Structure 1
Amino acid sequence: MHGLENVFGAGTSFFSEPLDGIVRGEVEYFANEPAFIPSENIPFERELRAPALRKLLKALGQNVPAGIDFGTVPHADILRFEIGYDRFFFFRPLNPYNSFTWVTAYVGQWNLTETFTNQDFRFGGQQKLTSTGVRTGTNAQGLTLQNISKLHTVPTDFVDLYPYESFVQSHLETAYLHGRVTPAITAVFGLDGTYAIPVGVTLRYSDSLLIDLKYIALGGNFNFPTGFFRDRSQLSARMTVLLN
């Protein structure tokens, strides 16, 4: 949890006759937003500066310089935006009776602080994957009491957050059998190579019983926007019962 932050933004939407759909746009400037730089948020080397631990290490012949023994939270100015296009249309060969709903958008963010100060921000504290789990975020492997003073945070163990991140997302759905069956497909493609493609169908057996079936294909690099779920496609089924 963190305190309030200042956000300045504007948005607009209008119907375009040439495009036969709704065009929308939005932009926000997030001022001084809490961010993540591993060596500042979780500086393991500073833990050694705790008075009791520093005294113990000195007795073992290891000199740890004095200083603060806790992490700090860096901040960044980030510009976020979205440009979208929405449309309702009929495609009789696939659905003779109901229209299709198509919602698509290009979404991006620009970390102004990283661009103009060269600070190395990372993605929300997420550690990179290994064959057995995730990286530790430290150089702890191989350290002993004799050289523990060399402990430090390894920033490259965390997923990088590029100064400019963006992705394209598109959603298409329609309804059959008077709204009882609603198939839908969504595609999200990050410009750095990630993708997520959820495909699902909602079965409305009655107003109090819904059944959802969904398959999500995930892949690409371990980066924004799909994050931790790289190469872990998912199949799910859910039943919703309304009791009244």
Structure 2
Amino acid sequence: MKERDVLLGSCVLLVFCVWVCQGAEAVYLDKDKALEVKGKVETKLTYTTRGYTGWYTVPSMVPDQPNCPSLASFNMKQHRTIAYVEANYNFKPASGYDIRFHATGRFLYDGVYEYGPDRVQDVRDFNAKFRDEIDELARDADLWEGYVDVSNGPFVLRLGRQKISWGETDVFPMLDRIMPIDNTYGGIFEDLDDRRIPIWAVRTTYNFGKVGMFNNLGAELFWEPAMIDQQFAPQAPHGSVYYFPQPSAPPYQIERNPDDEIENSRWGVRVQGVVGSNFNWAVAYYQSYMSDPALLSVVDMNRLAVGDMHGLQMQKFWEPVQIAGGSCSFFEPWSETIVRGELAWFFGEPAFQLSKNFRAIGALLAGSPVIPKSELAKWDVLRFSVALDRPFWVRFLNPTTMFSCTLEVFNEYYPKYSKDYVLPAPAWPSGDFVELHRWEQTIVGMITTTYMGGTLTPTVLAAVNPREGAAGFYTLSLEKRFGNDWKVKVAYDDVWGNKTIPPGVLFDWDQLSLRITYMF
């Protein structure tokens, strides 16, 4: 009954937006049309498509942590409703500068923890600590973006909370690691653009125009001062529906954030331009943080001696990483193909090496009388990708519109590779960490087209890790647009293959979703 009432409430909210806004046109609040208001409301309902069989089914081994929700087939996994209200105000003072104010409010509610399956509600109701963690995850109202633009000719200065996105890749970010990624929902099945979190920063761009062989030569700089704002990628709390599958047992995870010192700030510089008629290029150097923290094992024998299992810890560290690289794209007319490439070198990326990060707990498990301190491993990593985008006809499937095809190959290379390089994620059912190879590769393909005058869009997206029997995931989606106001999207996401390599370790995450969007 409660679930039905909330579903009805979501429908009422959408209908109310229709009644108030009467169309997808932006609303202007003054006769000069300097103040514009627009936005969107979106609700997404997600269900599992088969019962869980992995770590989620293992009962908690410690009394102060609840069981992770082991969902059955066609259990609700998410009911996330989100609204964005955006306001823009433009004016031009006598000084000749153009000034623009922008603000976006975001309002979020995920009801699965209050009216979803009992096993999901049990996590929130376990104690006050988990209730607070889940409520922080499932409810939010904040200033999502808020900045002022000051421009004069080729010069633009932006100050405030904003999105900064670089790079050419579609699924796995390389140069595009400036903003934190929200890991609390959706995982690999959610669009990266929806998971990026704006940062408080000062950003400036300057367009030099044509300089020698370069057209539209421009430079861009940004700085997010750590003394004012430090944001890291939120992690799904224990027991939440998108918590990474692992047993509910020690070691306990303790977060350690860096000091608010200037050297821990995000910053970067990018230069970009065009050579000839269509060769777009960019080079960049910046400092940011990875989307997951580095883990370091800690053993406190004094606490263990009195039976306190909090003496086994995995401390989570956020360490700044400097990244250098470049990207390019161009149209090749003979094959009618757009070619995109990207390359990035990560200097001293915090990672997980058994002989260093796991040294303390490893020695304890081996029965060593002396427990050494663990050490935070840092590796240099080379990441690069090549992508091809090409339209083509399949007239017996679609006689009026071409198909668009993308093929992209992502690569990771560890120059100083060691066999104890791992991902700190336990594979089911052995519990062994997921191994990394010197050369990791993922192949991604996507095909899409449109029907019914461009209002119906089917899409197939697939990613394959060719290692050791292969593993991958695919998404089948169908989106229908109704006028300029409404969009309805149905999607099925499936993980397949070897359960001991990524993304096969997420084999419990198959799901079916319905997304309804209203724009005003």
> Could you state the TM-score of these two structures normalised by the residue count of structure 1?
0.72
Given that 1:128 and 1:158 are in contact with CA atoms closer than 8 Å, whether structure 2 keeps it comes out as yes
Q: Tell whether 2:418 aligns with 1:128.
A: no
Counterpart pick for 2:370 among 62, 65, 71: 65
**How many Å separate the matches in 1 of 2:322 and 2:368?**
43
Q: How does 1:55-134 map to 2 (within 5 A)?
A: 64-65=369-370, 67-68=372-373, 71-114=374-417, 118-123=418-423, 125-130=424-429
Q: 1:17 to 1:119 in 2, by over 3 A?
A: same
Decide whether the 8 Å contact of 1:40 with 1:73 is kept in 2. Answer: yes
Distance 1:172-1:41 versus aligned 2 partners, 3 A rule: same
1:202 to 479, 482, 485: 479
> Distance between the aligned counterparts of 1:202 and 1:237, measured in 2?
10
Match of 1:188 in 2: 463
Q: Any conservation in 2 of the 1:161–1:223 contact (CA below 8 Å)?
A: no
Q: Is residue 375 of structure 2 the alignment partner of residue 21 of structure 1? A: no
Runs of 4+ residues deviating >4 angstroms: none
Q: Which runs of 5+ in 1 are unaligned?
A: 49-61, 136-156
Gaps of 5+ in 2: 1-292, 294-317
Describe the superposition over 1:214-234 as per-residue Cα deviations: whole angstroms up to 9, x where unpaired.
122321113554143137533
For this pair of structures, how many residues does the alignment match? 200
Could you tell me which amino acid in structure 2 is paired with residue 240 of structure 1? Answer: T
| Aligned equivalents of 1:46, 1:189: Cα separation in 2 | 32
1-side partners of 2:371 and 2:386: how far apart? 50
Determine the C-alpha separation between the residues in 2 that align with 1:179 and 1:201: 12
**Identity rate of aligned residues, in percent?**
26
After superposition, what is the alpha-carbon deviation per residue over 1:96-133, rounded to whole angstroms, capped at 9, x for unaligned?
Answer: 2222221111111111121xxx351112x111111xxx
3-state SS of the aligned residue for 2:481? strand
CA distance in 1, matches of 2:489, 2:368: 60
1:168 and 2:443 equivalent? yes
Distance 1:191 1:46, change over 3 A: closer
Task: Rate the CA distance shift 1:66–1:184 in 2: closer, same or farther, 3 A.
Answer: closer
Matched, 1:240 2:517: yes
2:416 aligned counterpart, secondary structure: helix
- Native 8 Å contact 2:393 2:402 kept in 1: yes
Structure 1 225/47 Cα, relative in aligned 2: closer, same or farther at 3 Å?
closer
2:32 corresponds to: none
TM superposition score normalised by structure 2: 0.36
Aligned match of 2:493: 216
The answer on whether the counterparts of 1:113 and 1:119 sit within 8 Å (CA) in structure 2 is: no
For residues 63 and 126 of structure 1, do their structure 2 counterparts lie closer, same or farther at Cα, with a shift above 3 Å needed? closer
State whether residues 165 and 224 of structure 1, in contact with CA within 8 Å, keep that contact through their aligned partners in structure 2.
no
Letter in 1 for 2:515: R
Distance in 2, Cα, partners of 1:77 & 1:184: 36
Equivalent in the alignment of 1:30: 346
Question: What is the alpha-carbon distance in structure 2 between the residues aligned to residue 175 and residue 223 of structure 1?
Answer: 37
Shift of 1:90: 3.2
Contact preservation (8 Å) 1:211, 1:237: yes
Letter in 2 for 1:191: P
Distance in 1, matches of 2:357 and 2:496, equals 29
| Structure 1: distance between partners of 2:465 and 2:508 | 14
User: In 2 relative to 1, CA 224–26 (structure 1 residues): closer, same or farther, beyond 3 Å?
Assistant: farther
Give distance in 1, aligned partners of 2:354 and 2:329. 39
Give 1:46 deviation, angstroms: 7.8
CA RMSD in angstroms, aligned pairs only: 2.6
The Cα shift of 1:186 comes to: 1.2
